Structure 1
Amino acid sequence: MKYVVVSGGVISGIGKGVLASSTGLLFKTLGLRVTSIKIDPYMNIDAGTMSPLEHGECFVLNDGGEVDLDLGNYERYLNITLTRNHNITTGKIYSKVIERERKGDYLGKTVQVVPHITNAIQEWIESVAKIPVDDTGLEPEICIIELGGTVGDIESAPFVEALRQFQFRVGSDNFALIHVSLVPVIHGEQKTKPTQAAIKDLRSLGLTPDMVACRCQEKLEHQTIEKIGMFCHVGPDQVIAVHDVNSTYHVPLLLKEQKMMKFLSKKLNIGEIDQSALTKGEALLSKWRHLTSSHDKSFETVTIALVGKYTHLHDSYLSVIKSLEHASMSCNRRLKIVWVESTNLEESMKGENLSEYHKAWHYVCQADGILVPGGFGSRGIEGMISAAKYARENNVPYLGVCLGLQIAVIEFVRNVLGIKGSTSQEFDNYKEEDHITPSVIYMPDVDQIKLGGTMRLGIHETKFTANTEWSKLKGLYGGVGSVFERHRHRYEVNPDLIEQIESKGLHFIGKDETGKRMEMIELKDDSHKFFVGTQYHPEYLSKVLDPSRPFLGLVAASAGILDDVLKRDDLNYRGEF
């Protein structure tokens, strides 16, 4: 097993995840099997109970693991399926060590950060790195490890020390370190001092980078590269310039142009690769090049209004953004997302901030399509309902994801069935004397008190119902009988209203494996371009070269080419995992 560690310095949010994913992709183009691990130094067990505004999106895996959003990047770039154990947190490590201490596994010794915590980290990495993650079912050959946070932070110290020891544990031929640093441009001059200081801190902790990846707004000048090489104790070929490009999908090609793989292959002593694997890797590289070049040449734009409640931090919807990007590239369109804070669409804003109200509605009315993503809590719900109503009544393509499906149902129940005041039990504690039927209810099998890891999580089967050949969404899935998608929710559509809703034209075209839980909705109206909702989160399984079908449908309908997309022969959804 070969290990490549990606660390970061100077500032956080510098792009370690994209660089780690891109490095892994380049190893795959060489025909190697790649896996990824993300280390997060926070004390939480996982990302499940964090606010999206606190830490960005919570990504969900097949096994129900609620993990850091960077694992989504790895899966999208590398076309692999990771597990909850591929995300290591301080909380997980300490819980494991404390559990062992309580059982007496340490034979009376004083349990300390070194060696017990650091050993637990190394053992975890070695164990998880061997888990098969692709369709070959074989043990990976390369493991990319991203160390979250910034080197020098107090909370990351045990992990840095563990990795310092780990390089000797696995041997120098099996360990490489890439350090990502910032090269700011001040008054037109590229400054190298922050990178020099970051590398100095790293070396003082016992880790010497094999490559320095320099993030900069513009291309690095030759003298900047030489200066960094000289003062950071690396050769010029070990300094990688990662400047701003058209999209993050260009980063792997940018790294390849600078012969990154040539250096790493030599450093890791990678031998001869099987010809069939090499051919497969070359085909992957060819597809990637074609995708990025085609996207660069596209000039028609499709505008999607993302109506959400965490729009102040776009990372809260990272997988949604990426799924829209994958779909727009597949449709050969330039994507423009207009961010609409759902609260600003509510009638109360007329009195509070009229300009924001008009601005928000202008964005919605001018968009080619409307997307309402997942979320929790009552804030901004009425604005989302208004957006869904506008999409339904004005033939604007609509996709509701998780909460977005529930919003579409609530709107339909209120305005078509005429049950005024109906909403979700998440937002209203109904009383019997009110005589109002809720549109959305608590799932009976979820914990309403303990919130961590108690939702319907992970991959589940959704079966298309009978007589749904008319469904555009089913067509996008290639006409299969069922699909497997990832879930993260604790509420469902009220089964008492299903018959009434369907009698008015909004059909539940997909149900769970028991046939009791509603998973997909679609408006049966030939005149409407696309009105779809999914209780599951299709964005979690979207890949760069294989876009999510509901997102593909939204973008294609918004671009006016859905009929053409439905005729394509590449909609060969596998239907199983």
Structure 2
Amino acid sequence: MAKQTKYIIVSGGVISGIGKGIIASSTGLLLKTLGLTVTSIKIDPYLNIDAGTLSPLDHGEVFVLDDGGEVDLDLGNYERYLSVQLSRDNNITTGKIYREVIEKERRGDYLGKTVQVVPHITNAIQDWVERVGRVPTSQNGRIPDVCIVELGGTVGDIESAPFIEAMRQFQFRVGHDNFCLIHVSLVPVVGAVGEQKTKPTQASVRDLRGLGLSPDILACRSATPFEEGIREKLSMFCQVRPEQVFSVHDCESLYHVPILLRKQGIIDVLTERLKLNKLSISGELQGEGDALWAQWREFARRRARDLEVTTIAVVGKYTYLTDSYISVVKALEHASLNVNRKIEISWVEASDLEESSAQKDPLKYHEAWQRLCAADGILVPGGFGERGVEGKVLAAKWAREHNVPYLGICLGLQVAVIEFARHVAGLPTAHSAEFRENCDTPVVVFMPEIDRTTMGGTMRLGSRPTKFQGTSFAQNSKIRQLYGSVDEVNERHRHRYEVNPERVDELEAKGMHFVGRDADTGERMEILELESHPYFVAVQYHPEYLTRPLSPSPPFLGLLLAASGQLDSYLSGAGIAADVDTKLKM
């Protein structure tokens, strides 16, 4: 008999953005500590085919997978917590489902039947979930024991209705012992005395039951732990046992959420509900689970400690919504805690650094420059569009001239090239063809194979190999040493423009070394590093997509080491100072 994957559905009520992704990721992590193999699916009820064309200010970061899928940022949480590589099929959207059904209808697969939401759309959703839930994981090649499905949106939303109905049917399709529903809701604290109110959660569960689904676990978000009697009240009116109601109050950090859930007994509840004790788990996998939990607790402990602070200025154009850079934030956190420092991110809106800002709003201009100049390190992340580009160029110039550790990502590499070309290589009109299509000195150009006619999925996307060059500088470069002195690395890309290969010799002659190039042709510049600088590194790819709490991204690790004055000792083999005597690894 074929192995049956068990499914945990995570739904949300009362308000959007309640934290379903963190609950789903934390639950998956706890199941992994039992030695189970876990995968995840995110359902987004919007009509877009994928997240690639969504504005970061509207929807948060676009996360890129190994296969080039542009997906919701929650899949980044899943990868970071579960240490798995997911595919584009792990993100389901209304657009994907309807496209699949319509294509079948056009081929005649439905044999002339009237195509309807029920059963055709709901069947397509169930088929997709079951198919992806049985794909062997990248971690160990095993068919997952458990698949966690996060249902985006809020219960009661019109666009979520087909997915709710599909999951109502799905519970009977896979069987009672293979289906568990976690409902994430809100217990607000209101009034002068800070009284917790259960009515919103009661109403949300009532709506869910009216749609045919009954929660097995309630995860209740609140600013404070449950007051006396709240758990019992929720149990009574929501028809779940008290031990199935969990207080997910504000913690020291998100890394403490798994610890909070485990202390309240969620593993026991899941084991009973899904009969997890009947699964066959090898002693080796159980040992790996125990080690994972010990490492996670140590990592969370560091996050709570009063460590020395290192400040990194992040110079971007979407700084008003920090979820636009959520993977960058996580990469900085992971790197800082692994070098025994607490990260303080100083957000700098790139356009505020420009001369035009000094005329419009002098206060903003001076505050932006004050934050930049006070930082221990500077990071310029990726982005699209001309707004703020000159401010990013100025940030790269400040870092280069004042020996401030610098990391550029994607556009951050391109602005570093523009700045260096203008002020060191003697090319004052240097610019990018993205912003000045007919500029005299294009040092950044449109990639020849990219489609200019459509927006979605047409960039250079996904995991690509980068090969370190054979020059003496490249072989001994700081960034190569941070990667473990390997000859080649695989990182994820998302861009349409690249460094102009015709200008590379001029730039290298002045001291800008392109130490890493694409492994296929060697003509695409992937990594640059400046000589005679504490740490000036820029990469065309997005290393933040592969960061893990217990295994930080090497370019970010280098930035934090340099900004905290530990890079030279680390590269010489002396390790990390104080409190951390071994590097944490998975």
Normalised-by-shorter TM-score class: over 0.9
Does structure 1 conserve the Cα–Cα contact (< 8 Å) formed by 2:318 and 2:349? yes
* Structure 2 equivalent of residue 109 of structure 1: 113
Question: Which residue of the other structure, out of 209, 231, 236, is the alignment partner of 1:230?
Answer: 236
Q: Give the drift of 1:572.
A: 11
CA distance in 2, matches of 1:544, 1:150: 29
* Structure 2 equivalent of residue 446 of structure 1: 450
CA distance in 1, matches of 2:376, 2:453: 41
TM-score (ref. length: structure 1) = 0.97
- Structure 1 letter corresponding to 2:426: G
Q: Give the drift of 1:421.
A: 2.4
CA distance in 2, matches of 1:96, 1:521: 42
* Structure 2 equivalent of residue 283 of structure 1: 291
- Structure 2 letter corresponding to 1:511: R
CA distance in 2, matches of 1:129, 1:424: 44
Residue segments in structure 2 that go unaligned for 5+ positions in a row? 576-580
After superposition, the Cα gap between the structure-2 partners of 1:405 and 1:572, relative to the gap in structure 1 and judged at 3 Å, is: farther
Does structure 2 conserve the Cα–Cα contact (< 8 Å) formed by 1:506 and 1:521? yes
Question: Which residue of the other structure, out of 158, 165, 180, is the alignment partner of 2:162?
Answer: 158
2:536 maps to 1:531: yes
- Partner secondary structure for residue 222 of structure 1: coil
Does structure 2 conserve the Cα–Cα contact (< 8 Å) formed by 1:48 and 1:67? yes
Q: 1:308-339, CA deviations, whole angstroms, 9 ceiling, x for partnerless residues?
A: 00111111001000000110110111110011
* Structure 1 equivalent of residue 565 of structure 2: 560
Question: Which residue of the other structure, out of 321, 335, 339, is the alignment partner of 2:329?
Answer: 321
* Structure 2 equivalent of residue 340 of structure 1: 348
- Structure 2 letter corresponding to 1:480: V
- Structure 2 letter corresponding to 1:260: I
After superposition, the Cα gap between the structure-2 partners of 1:55 and 1:73, relative to the gap in structure 1 and judged at 3 Å, is: same
CA distance in 2, matches of 1:30, 1:324: 29
Q: 1:434-483, CA deviations, whole angstroms, 9 ceiling, x for partnerless residues?
A: xx211100011111221211111000100001122331111100100010
* Structure 1 equivalent of residue 476 of structure 2: 470
Moved over 6 A (4+): 569-574
Q: 1:61-89, CA deviations, whole angstroms, 9 ceiling, x for partnerless residues?
A: 00000000000000000000100000000
Q: Give the drift of 1:133.
A: 2.0
2:219 maps to 1:213: yes
Q: 1:217-266, CA deviations, whole angstroms, 9 ceiling, x for partnerless residues?
A: 11111311111111111111000111111110111111100010101111
* Structure 1 equivalent of residue 546 of structure 2: 541
CA distance in 1, matches of 2:523, 2:274: 53
CA distance in 2, matches of 1:573, 1:65: 27
1:264-283 matches, cutoff 5 A: 264-270=270-276, 271-272=278-279, 273-283=281-291
CA distance in 2, matches of 1:239, 1:414: 61
Question: Which residue of the other structure, out of 384, 387, 392, is the alignment partner of 2:395?
Answer: 387
- Partner secondary structure for residue 299 of structure 2: helix
1:495-514 matches, cutoff 5 A: 495-513=501-519, 514=521
- Structure 2 letter corresponding to 1:371: L
* Structure 1 equivalent of residue 38 of structure 2: 34
* Structure 1 equivalent of residue 410 of structure 2: 402
Q: 1:76-125, CA deviations, whole angstroms, 9 ceiling, x for partnerless residues?
A: 00000100000000000000000000011111111000000000000000
- Structure 2 letter corresponding to 1:152: G
* Structure 2 equivalent of residue 249 of structure 1: 255
- Partner secondary structure for residue 550 of structure 1: helix
1:85-164 matches, cutoff 5 A: 85-164=89-168
- Partner secondary structure for residue 214 of structure 1: strand
Q: 1:184-231, CA deviations, whole angstroms, 9 ceiling, x for partnerless residues?
A: 100210011111110010000000000100001111113111111111
Does structure 1 conserve the Cα–Cα contact (< 8 Å) formed by 2:66 and 2:462? yes
2:524 maps to 1:517: yes
Does structure 2 conserve the Cα–Cα contact (< 8 Å) formed by 1:478 and 1:572? no
Does structure 1 conserve the Cα–Cα contact (< 8 Å) formed by 2:469 and 2:475? no
After superposition, the Cα gap between the structure-2 partners of 1:570 and 1:129, relative to the gap in structure 1 and judged at 3 Å, is: farther
* Structure 1 equivalent of residue 578 of structure 2: none
* Structure 1 equivalent of residue 555 of structure 2: 550
RMSD: 1.3
CA distance in 1, matches of 2:265, 2:293: 15
Q: 1:493-537, CA deviations, whole angstroms, 9 ceiling, x for partnerless residues?
A: 011111111111110000001201000000011xx2110000000
CA distance in 1, matches of 2:481, 2:228: 53
* Structure 1 equivalent of residue 67 of structure 2: 63
After superposition, the Cα gap between the structure-2 partners of 1:219 and 1:238, relative to the gap in structure 1 and judged at 3 Å, is: same
CA distance in 2, matches of 1:254, 1:305: 32
* Structure 1 equivalent of residue 185 of structure 2: 181
* Structure 1 equivalent of residue 15 of structure 2: 11
CA distance in 2, matches of 1:540, 1:152: 33
* Structure 1 equivalent of residue 372 of structure 2: 364
Does structure 2 conserve the Cα–Cα contact (< 8 Å) formed by 1:477 and 1:571? no
* Structure 1 equivalent of residue 420 of structure 2: 412
CA distance in 1, matches of 2:205, 2:455: 41
Question: Which residue of the other structure, out of 378, 384, 406, is the alignment partner of 1:376?
Answer: 384
- Partner secondary structure for residue 200 of structure 1: helix
* Structure 2 equivalent of residue 20 of structure 1: 24
Q: Give the drift of 1:556.
A: 1.0
Q: Give the drift of 1:158.
A: 0.1
- Structure 1 letter corresponding to 2:290: E
Does structure 1 conserve the Cα–Cα contact (< 8 Å) formed by 2:253 and 2:304? no
2:47 maps to 1:43: yes
Does structure 1 conserve the Cα–Cα contact (< 8 Å) formed by 2:295 and 2:584? no
- Partner secondary structure for residue 407 of structure 1: helix
Q: Give the drift of 1:423.
A: 0.8
2:493 maps to 1:487: yes
CA distance in 2, matches of 1:565, 1:256: 35
CA distance in 2, matches of 1:290, 1:40: 34
After superposition, the Cα gap between the structure-2 partners of 1:495 and 1:571, relative to the gap in structure 1 and judged at 3 Å, is: farther
How many equivalent residue pairs?
568
- Structure 2 letter corresponding to 1:274: S
Question: Which residue of the other structure, out of 168, 173, 176, is the alignment partner of 1:172?
Answer: 176
CA distance in 2, matches of 1:362, 1:294: 29
CA distance in 1, matches of 2:228, 2:137: 40
Residue segments in structure 1 that go unaligned for 5+ positions in a row? none
